[in-house]
Amino acid sequence: MNENETIEITSKLEYKDFIRARRYIASQSILFKIYLFSPVIYFIFVLVNCLVTCPASRSLTCFSFVIDNLLGLSTFFMLPIIVFLLNIGLKKYFDSNKRFQQEGSLSFDLEGVKSFSDNYFNFIKWTDIYKIMESKEDLLIFISTIECHIIPKRFFKSAEDLEKVKEIIKQKVDPKKVKLLKNKKHF
């Protein structure tokens, strides 16, 4: 990419794009992974404890021990309720943020990223980017820990434009802050 070249995309984020990106971001969180794995660990501890406390008899006492500990395991079954409540909150957030609902543009060049619409303008230098993540369908450019530009890959005019932006990212952003997919077939 030469110095004066700019890649510009026009976008209007849809709710499905927003939810897909938020789910991807959540799935990358270590807390989410621990939460999903914790019922398995908990069940193993209960089973081992049951086998240790009643090794020979496998009696009703052992069964009641497992029943008593199901309360702890029930936290796993709260996941659908938590997801439902989070989706309600995310829908309210999406609906209340007018920037999501209006058409805007993003411009990428060697200096940084410009985002603008009729009533909004923001410029961030590549060195000021908090982190960048890529999923199969989106490019996520984080301005801070909680604010990010969700850019569905379909907004790019061509696969070459997406690759040019990824090359700029590799050149201009600290590699510790970048998590791009290795496979280039996602467009």
76 contacts: CB under 8 Å, gap ≥ 6: 38, 39
From residue 63, alpha-carbon distances to 48, 49, 53, 69, 137 in Å are 13, 12, 11, 10, 47
Task: Provide the pLDDT for residue 64.
Answer: 60
* Residues 107 and 89 placed together within one structural domain of the fold: no
pLDDT band at 53 (very low <50, low <70, confident <90, very high): low
Q: Is residue 133 part of a domain?
A: yes
Task: Tell me which of 35, 65, 94 is where a domain ends.
Answer: 94
- Rounded to whole angstroms, the Cα distance separating 157 from 162 reads 8
Residue ending a domain, among 94, 122, 153, is 94
Residue 18 lies in a domain: no
Q: Are residues 175 and 115 in the same domain?
A: yes
Structure tokens at 63: 């069964």
pLDDT of 113: 94
Same domain for 131 and 113: yes
**Three-state secondary structure readout of 7-47:** EEEEECCCHHHHHHHHHHHHHCCHHHHHHHHHHHHHHHHHH
Q: Does residue 2 fall inside a structural domain?
A: no
Which segment of 21-30, 43-52, 55-64, 73-82 scores lowest on mean pLDDT?
Answer: 55-64
- Looking at the fold, whether 109 and 89 belong to one and the same domain comes out as no
CATH of the domain at 155: 2.30.29.30
Who has greater pLDDT, 136 or 52?
Answer: 136
Domain count, the chain: 2
Print the domain residue range for 131.
7-13+102-179
Question: Looking at the predicted structure, is the pLDDT value of residue 168 above 90?
Answer: yes
Average pLDDT over the chain, rounded to whole?
A: 82
For residue 2, what pLDDT band results from cuts at 50, 70 and 90?
low
Q: How far apart are CA 77 and CA 86, in angstroms?
A: 15
**Is 20 part of any domain?**
no
